[in-house]
Amino acid sequence: MRLVRTVTVFCWLLSAGFVAFVSAQTSPAGAPAAVALVIRTDDIGMSHSVNMAMQRLVSTGMPVSVSVLFVCPWYQEAVEILKQHPNVAVGIHLALNSEWKNYRWGPVAGSQAVPSLVDENGFFFPSYDALHQHNPQLAEVEKELRAQIERALRSGIKIDYVDEHMGTVGRPEFRELTERLAKEYGLGMSGYFGEAMDAPQYAAAPDKKADSLVAFINRLKPGLNAVVTHVGIDNEELGALVDMNTDEPLSDMSKNRQGELTALTSPRFSSALKARNIQLLTYRDVIVREGLQSMRRPVD
**CATH code of residue 231:** 3.20.20.370
- What is the distance of C-alpha 26 from the center of its chain? 24
Output the DSSP codes for 132-157. Answer: HHT---HHHHHHHHHHHHHHHHTSSS
Name the residue range of residue 108's domain: 4-37+47-294
| Number of folded domains that form the chain | 1
Is residue 159 one of the residues assigned to a domain?
Answer: yes
Query: Would 174 be classed as within a structural domain?
Result: yes
The answer to whether residue 163 is domain-embedded is: yes
More confident residue, 10 or 53: 53
How does pLDDT run across 242-284, given as a tens digit for each residue? 999 865 556 689 999 999 999 999 999 999 999 999 999 999 9
> Is residue 42 domain-resident?
no
Residue 300 lies in a domain: no
pLDDT at 250: 61
Round to whole Å and give the CA distance between 32 and 12.
28
Radius of gyration of the chain (CA): 19
| pLDDT tens-place string over residues 187-233 | 999 999 999 999 999 999 999 999 999 999 999 999 999 999 999 99
- Measured between alpha carbons, how far is 123 from 60 in angstroms, rounded to an integer? 36
Each residue's pLDDT tens digit, 123-181: 999 999 999 999 999 999 999 999 999 999 999 999 999 999 999 999 999 999 999 99
| Contact between residue 155 and residue 79 where contact means Cβ atoms under 8 Å apart | yes
Where do the H-state alpha helices sit in the chain? 48-59, 75-83, 128-133, 138-153, 172-185, 209-218, 236-239, 253-264, 267-275, 283-290
